[in-house]
Amino acid sequence: MNQQHIVRAAAALATALLATAAQAQVAGTLSVRIGATHIAPQVRSGDLSAPSFPGTRVDVGSASALTGGLNYMLTDNWAIDVPIGLPFKHSFYGDGAIAGVGKVGETKVLPATVFAQYRFGEANANFRPYLGLGVTYAKFFKERTTATLNALSGGTPANPTTADIDDRFGLTPQIGFVYNFNERWFVDAAYYKSFLKTRTHLSSGQSIPIRLNPNVLAVGIGYRF
């Protein structure tokens, strides 16, 4: 995303704010949006399987990314919503028996979600809160371990211990709202929670179950076609 685009988006937004027109979120409306999403995992880690220090656990850090989404109104109230965006990069830290060792790895994740949303209020209302329920497929990739993980698992720089995180489905309930500036431009903000469990496998043979259940905050500026 280059600066020129952002400047033009801001200018367009300002112009749009001044304009007056009828708002519409009627059936058949397609909209796009761009913004940012913050994912804060609420981690409950299991214990790393043997061989390991008893009670070896991990914590997972938060991550933000540039995101957007597509929304299609099936009826005046029901919508299909698909967030899209850049991958999130989460760091993993030692916990439990290895608390305090610092970062043990990182991963990128693309949480692909499809939401069904019910939007309250009239199709032309300025403010429309909504509830959604989504199915999320969390695709983990570029898992990268650290020297610390190697040293704790018998790996070496020449033969490092690597990690692989299972891709998993999860249910994602959502609550949010759309505020229309005019018939074209709007802001969309949502909170959702993904119920997501996965398992990380180490090349040294162990695995660890992790419940991520992230809290997600997403906000975007949208344009309606």
Chain residues in the site for other proteins (CB under 8 A)? 1, 5, 8-9, 12, 16, 32, 34, 50-54, 66-68, 70, 84-87, 94, 98, 100-102, 108, 110, 141-157, 160-162, 184, 223, 225
- Least separation in angstroms between CB 133 and other proteins: 24
Instruction: Report the distance separating Cα 132 and Cα 114, nearest Å.
Output: 10
Q: Which is nearer to other proteins, 86 or 189 (CB)?
A: 86
CB of 150 vs other proteins, minimal distance in Å: 6
Instruction: Kindly report whether the peptide bond that precedes residue 51 is cis, defined as omega within 30 degrees of 0.
Output: yes
Considering the complex, state which of residue 126 and residue 156 has its C-beta at the smaller distance from other proteins. Answer: 156
Minimum CB separation from other proteins for residue 110, in Å?
7
Q: What whole-number distance in Å separates Cα of residue 47 and Cα of residue 16?
A: 54
Contacts of 92 (CB under 8 A, 6+ apart): 58, 59, 60, 61, 103, 104, 105, 106, 107, 200
Closest to other proteins by CB, 122 or 183 = 183
Task: Considering the complex, state which of residue 64 and residue 162 has its C-beta at the smaller distance from other proteins.
Answer: 162
Please, what is the minimum distance in Å from the beta carbon of residue 131 to other proteins? 25
Cα separations (Å) of 163 from 22, 68, 149, 166, 181? 53, 29, 10, 10, 46
